[in-house]
Amino acid sequence: MGALQPIWVVIIFTIVILKPISGFASTLEVDYYHQTCPQVESIVSETVRNATVHDPKVPARILRMFFHDCFIRGCDASVLLDSTRSNKAEKDGPPNISLRSFYVIDDAKSKLEAVCPRTVSCSDVLAIAARDVVTLSGGPYWEVLKGRKDGKISKASDTRDLPAPTFNATTLIQSFAKRGLSIKDLVALSGGHTLGFSHCSSFEGRIRNFSLTKDVDPSMDQWFAEKLRTNCHKPNKERNAGEFLDFTSAVFDNDYYGRLVRGQGVFVSDQDLYSDYRTRWMVEAFWRDQSLFFREFKDSMVRLGRVGVKGDDDGEVRIKCRVVN
């Protein structure tokens, strides 16, 4: 039976992939800008590469930015809009205050406006950049579907719908399902944490006063819990104290899943993927086979990139990503 397990893993994943997707836009195309702006991918890629050379934190920040954008109003670049006197935008909502590197998208967009004015949407720029930071970090490459329009609405209050680090597997599955994403998408996209970092405040509840009878979350490896407690002093005077979500945080690989298997997930939302029977086998499969993880991550990123896509009726191509036209 053990020798047959990888075959069944492939079969089950295939079934999940072929399941009909509801609520997805069908107007996106790989060659959407083939005639109007053939330089789009090279311009975005060069901009991302140059930014990463000067700041190695850029890949993790851009990938997180893409997730947070798509999970609110769909992939419409609403997370890029600045707040105004009359409106507090998504980027200033509590979960997004720590988002950084918006300048990378601004820079790429400015270069595109110089050669292809009013043509390439900010949401497409962000989608391409998210792919590029994964590839630059050693992860897989995929063809990005394009043709999104930029949203005109961005509200900080909507950020309460973002999946939180305290969510368990059931809550995460429900959150992803609302966006038309499967359990497989949840586990594969969570692998994006291979480039992630968390401040102590996001997991403090797991390492101190966890419950009336347990000071530390019993699902956490004891050595790892002590490491986190050492890094996160009480009171904590170090503003940037925290923990990487992957021991190889600068490289896009499958080490994240190995940490979950060893009880070293940082968030409840991470570790519960291994605790829950519906997701545990996928975590193990991705840990055993990095190429399988890469294939499923690519597929899930394409699916995520189609969530809530705007068309001409409810979107626009912004000239500047921080403001509506």
Check if 34 is active-site: no
The answer to whether 69 is a known ligand-binding residue is: yes
Catalytic choice (34, 54, 68, 233):
68
Q: From CA 20, how far away is CA 18, in angstroms rounded?
A: 6
- The torsion defined by the Cα of 245, 250, 253 and 259, in degrees rounded to 10, comes to -30
The answer to whether 34 is a known ligand-binding residue is: no
Q: Is 138 exposed, middle or buried (0-12, 13-18, 19+ CB in 10 A)?
A: middle
300 CB-side CA count, 13 A: 24
Integer distance in angstroms from the first to the last C-alpha of the chain? 60
The answer to whether 20 is a known ligand-binding residue is: no
Any alpha helices (H) in the chain, and if so which ranges?
5-18, 40-54, 58-73, 102-115, 122-136, 169-178, 183-190, 204-207, 222-231, 255-261, 268-275, 277-288, 290-304
Q: From CA 141, how far away is CA 162, in angstroms rounded?
A: 26
Amino acid at 312: D
Cβ atoms of residues 236 and 282 within 8 Å = no
The answer to whether 230 is a known ligand-binding residue is: no
Residue 244 sits at φ, ψ, to 5 deg, of -70, 145
Contacting residues for 158 by C-beta, under 8 A, at least 6 apart: 72, 73, 90, 93
Q: From CA 61, how far away is CA 145, in angstroms rounded?
A: 21
The answer to whether 78 is a known ligand-binding residue is: yes
The answer to whether 90 is a known ligand-binding residue is: yes
The answer to whether 27 is a known ligand-binding residue is: no
Question: Pairing relation of β-strands 242-244 and 197-199?
Answer: antiparallel
Cβ atoms of residues 75 and 69 within 8 Å = yes
The answer to whether 276 is a known ligand-binding residue is: no
Q: Binding site for substrate, residues? A: 163
Q: Binding site, residues? A: 69, 74, 76, 78, 90, 163, 193-194, 246, 253
Q: Binding site for Ca(2+), residues? A: 69, 74, 76, 78, 90, 194, 246, 253
Q: Binding site for heme b, residues? A: 193
**Residues acting as catalytic residues:** 68
